[in-house]
Structure 1
């Protein structure tokens, strides 16, 4: 293939990937926005409510991340059926994923209700905060089965290539959550202070529920998102080809095993990544409020930018799954490596934002000069690992398109927990008699090491998976 033809094909494929990725990016940012709104509004109630919502979120979010990762296994399954034009196999796969979602949602709800108080006691959370956090968790638990169903329908839509549904209903959820937070957390007194005494009597009489209101608002938004997307998938024309076969089906062990075989490793991988950052935050807690605040600011801003390569990786799963379903194995290989190149290009953009926009960004988060200075320095460290981070997340997305998820799990656990956290702890805390340790910088250098190892190992796996002569990499 000539260089000019390859360049033209690269541009065409990059455009197709971008059209899939942009709605996913919007949806991811909207979901982050829901958590941001919760924290921001809780902070305007009182310090106890803010602490309760923050602590409570640290309990249920990692569990939900694992659940969502497990359900993400539906995307490559649907994408491959779409590519193969086997539309009659899509509906049964979605039904079985919904059964899995329902069970995971109920189990997750029961787990946070049962384990929440014990976790707060283990973490030595002050009694007043723990009491409010428990109430908040009990309210959030009501919505977990619904969010599991919503995410399943979302990944079904993504697998069809209809990623705009993710954006539409994530924005809908953000709007519902924002309004419900205002109504339930602040109640009539808060609304009166904001809009004046002319409120309708029904609104003016609403009680201010604080942390309970925040949890109920989250559960309500989850429920309405699931209901709205369910109706949409039943009515919208874009799903017409997939409405083949029975409108419902009982659990099928074979199809459920396939969903779990692909999905559980994804769930473990995502959980390993999220829990790594949680663990680092816990280790840094003893370094004082300036360090932990700067770490939180830098990590939050970096996480928002990370949505760019993450969305490309999720779109790659769809593109490769559909190409493999059509038997276009060479094209799938081209899509995979072209997508990784696109992600590395995005990493350049992220680095420019971190280096030149970082000082302005941290001013939005905090006005404390000491926190600002340290956060900017950490963002410069973050600029070093952007290429590794973009590479590993895009390669992982490509491998999911090949339904190759167990290796991702093994690599992720090793790279993040053994290399990343291990080296970060050693560099941060030091070694008696050898060196005193680098503090927060050591932990961030550990992130560079972990992400770099993940990128190298996953890259080697993708190269092996897509090499000529492999059954799933050769063909037209």
Structure 2
């Protein structure tokens, strides 16, 4: 990663970092896509069970991963400020935090998840599938969080092609494991929807192994010696990671959590509605890879330029990211509108269920435009290390505006679709409020120079 002065140089740098990230994200999200589609082809009950299991795992996964993502802007600013000696200490303290989070989640899966599932309005078959799905994932939780820290470290160096290579190497194995464990092919046990959870847990360990191998073999990464003798736990870098990571994690938790809450509330509309909602939501998740990748790219570049004290350059990168996100949002919306019916039949052969999925996809178009505004703003704020206000805005927009509105609309003729209008409203509210915030932050940083 190098400083670029001209506009075209900045666009080139942006694309060089963004392209591997989006390939990585699309590949990672394809795991959810294949979990959903392959479970759906096994049975509607399996699809619903995976939907419920995912609704519990996804927000916790995203929130804790968001906490660990604090490593990226911290190291990006260290690199920009030429304080490379502090990088190893930051990575190792991030790994210690990751292990603590993994232990916490494993205990929650053992003692809390069964209680939560027992109080949900779902059938026994769906409840059993969800329980075993989450048990399968819990096998790989330590590897998942350790990998998250190491990938954040690699990305912060601008070496996003390395993380792309890790993902492209391991995700095909996840698809193969789904094929074996969901359907019981080649003599493997037929686990139904729960098989996708075990496939994901095993894949997380493969990701960690490949990540460690590449860190040790790539000279540009090995020079930081993050796999050498462990650094002692240090409260200063740990406190910085937690100070940035907790608000960032809460922001992501509030956003993903509202989608999970809606999935749970969909239980009152029946198994087919849950399955259709989850199918359409997995499409949105796949398309979300683009704005999310823009956000990650901006965090790296803005963190680097801010650490070096080049705030005008950081602001130009934000403008580039905004333009790219809006363009991609328009393309994604058009894809959903034109191809909603064939997309629906990727998930099921049931015509009635496909019609429900198609209807949800029409409402999903609104998400594309909201994310096009919101994601680059969030990425920029992370790069500036200004994340405390984002969690407050996210809570207000999603839980005090979006979810109550969705609930009220669901009581009328809109039914389950009312929740999706509420979700869109929450996303747009957050996008508008945080767009003002990022401008205030940039003015404050310039004034402090």
Is TM more than 0.5 here? Answer: yes
Pair 43,309 (structure 1): closer, same or farther in 2 beyond 3 Å: closer
- The correspondence for 2:97, drawn from 96, 100, 106, is 100
Query: How far apart, CA to CA, are the structure 2 residues paired with 1:420 and 1:77?
Result: 32
- Largest Rg, 1 or 2: 1
- What corresponds to 1:79 in structure 2? 76
Query: How far apart, CA to CA, are the structure 1 residues paired with 2:51 and 2:276?
Result: 17
How many matched pairs? 445
Deviation of residue 377 (structure 1)? 4.5
Deviation of residue 291 (structure 1)? 4.6
How do 1:109-258 residues align onto structure 2 when only pairs under 5 Å count? 109-127=106-124, 129-131=126-128, 133-186=130-183, 190-191=185-186, 207-208=189-190, 213-243=195-225, 247-258=229-240
Gap runs ≥5 in structure 1: 1-7, 192-203, 430-435
Pair 123,288 (structure 1): closer, same or farther in 2 beyond 3 Å: closer
Alpha-carbon displacement from aligned partner over 1:155-198 (angstroms, at most 9, x marks no partner):
111111111122222222212223333444555xx32xxxxxxx
Contact kept? 2:59, 2:253, Cα under 8 Å: yes
Query: How far apart, CA to CA, are the structure 1 residues paired with 2:433 and 2:157?
Result: 30
- The correspondence for 1:444, drawn from 416, 420, 423, is 420
Find out whether 1:471 has 2:448 as its counterpart.
no
Root-mean-square deviation over aligned CA pairs: 2.7
- What corresponds to 1:433 in structure 2? none
Find out whether 1:273 has 2:249 as its counterpart.
no
Find out whether 1:409 has 2:391 as its counterpart.
yes
Pair 439,38 (structure 1): closer, same or farther in 2 beyond 3 Å: closer
Query: How far apart, CA to CA, are the structure 2 residues paired with 1:474 and 1:28?
Result: 36
- What corresponds to 2:363 in structure 1? 381
Gap runs ≥5 in structure 2: none
Query: How far apart, CA to CA, are the structure 2 residues paired with 1:411 and 1:77?
Result: 23
Deviation of residue 142 (structure 1)? 2.1
Query: How far apart, CA to CA, are the structure 1 residues paired with 2:17 and 2:36?
Result: 30
Alpha-carbon displacement from aligned partner over 1:388-421 (angstroms, at most 9, x marks no partner):
2211111000000001111111111111111111
Which shifted more, 316-325 or 83-92?
83-92
Query: How far apart, CA to CA, are the structure 2 residues paired with 1:184 and 1:374?
Result: 28
Query: How far apart, CA to CA, are the structure 2 residues paired with 1:359 and 1:45?
Result: 20
Contact kept? 1:157, 1:165, Cα under 8 Å: yes
Alpha-carbon displacement from aligned partner over 1:21-62 (angstroms, at most 9, x marks no partner):
221112222222223333444456666655554433333332
Query: How far apart, CA to CA, are the structure 2 residues paired with 1:413 and 1:29?
Result: 27
Alpha-carbon displacement from aligned partner over 1:246-271 (angstroms, at most 9, x marks no partner):
73212111111100111111111111
- What corresponds to 1:432 in structure 2? none
How do 1:242-391 residues align onto structure 2 when only pairs under 5 Å count? 242-243=224-225, 247-288=229-270, 291-391=273-373
Deviation of residue 18 (structure 1)? 2.1
Which shifted more, 50-59 or 164-173?
50-59
Alpha-carbon displacement from aligned partner over 1:311-330 (angstroms, at most 9, x marks no partner):
10111000000001111111
Contact kept? 2:279, 2:347, Cα under 8 Å: yes
Deviation of residue 236 (structure 1)? 0.8
Give TM-score, length-normalised by structure 2.
Answer: 0.90
Contact kept? 1:88, 1:245, Cα under 8 Å: no
Find out whether 1:89 has 2:86 as its counterpart.
yes
Pair 445,134 (structure 1): closer, same or farther in 2 beyond 3 Å: closer
